[in-house]
Amino acid sequence: MSKVLIEMESIGFKYPKSKNYALQNINLSIKEGDYVAITGTSGSGKSTLLSILGLITPPTIGNYLILERNTLNLTDKSKSLLKNNEIGFVFQNFNLLSHLNIYDNVALPLSYNPLIKRKDYLEKVQTALELVGMNDYIERNPTQLSGGQQQRIAIARALVNEPSLILADEPTGNLDSENSERIFQLLEQLNHVGKTICLITHDSSYAKKAKKRFHIKDGMLCPQLSKSNELVA
C-alpha cells in the first residue's frame, strides 16, 4: 500500500482584510508514486493552493500534513528544512542563477541540507543531471542553454535532494510546443521511475497525462471526469 505523502484536510485560505475565502474546503491526498495534475484558470486559486502546498503560505483554516507531520505545528526552522528536503520546486521561469554554472545551480539545495556532506555533492548532482539527460552540461552556464535545456536543469535541481514530492508550477509556460512536449515526457518518465509529482497547469491537454486530475474553480477543488464520466481522481 502506497504511503500518503501529502494530506490536506478542509483547507481554507483568506487574505488579510478580505471578507471572502480564496480557497474553500480543500481536501487533497497525494500518495507515493502519484502523478497529480491541478488545472484552473487565472484567478481560480491555483497560485494560492501552490503557495500552501509549497509551505510558502500557511492556510487560514484546516490541516496540512506532510509525511504525517502537521505543518501548522512546525517551527519556522523545521518548516524551512521540510520545504528544502521534501519538496522539489520547478518554476515557470526556471529561476537559474546566471552567474553560476550548471553544477553550482543544481547543487544549491544541497547547501541547505545539513544531512548531506559536501564531498557527496558531485555524485548527487551527476545523478540528478543523468535523470534529465543533461550530464554533459555540468560545466556550462545557463545562458548557453536553450529554454528547454534550462528547464531540464531546473528539474535536476528539484531532484537533487531526492525529495518526496516534485511540485511543478506551469513548467512549460515559457516554452514552445516542441519543448513543452519534451518536458512533459520527462515528467512522465520521472513518474515511471517512482517520482511523485504534483503539476499545476492551465493546460488541460497536458494535465490528461497525469494519473489523477483535479480542477480548481472559484477556490473549490473537484476531481475531473474522464470521457467515460468516471472520476479520475
CA dihedral 108, 95, 26, 16 (to 10 degrees): 100
What confidence score (pLDDT) does residue 53 get?
A: 96
The domain locations on the chain are: 33-47+75-223
Tens of pLDDT, residue by residue over 172-205, are 989 999 999 999 999 999 999 999 999 999 888 8
Q: Give the angle subtended at the CA of 150 by the CAs of 147 and 153, to the nearest 5°.
A: 155
Residue at 103: amino acid letter: Y
Query: Would you say how long the chain is, in residues?
Result: 233
**Regions of the chain short of the pLDDT cut 70:** 225-233
Q: What is the Cα–Cα distance from 144 to 98, expressed in whole angstroms?
A: 10
Q: Which pLDDT value is given to residue 1? A: 73
Report the pLDDT value the prediction gives residue 223, as an integer from 0 to 100: 87
> What are the distances in angstroms from CA 203 to CA 24, 33, 39, 40, 217?
23, 22, 7, 8, 14
Domain 33-47+75-223 has what CATH class?
Answer: alpha beta
Instruction: Give the Cα-Cα-Cα angle 23, 27, 33 (nearest 5 degrees).
Output: 120
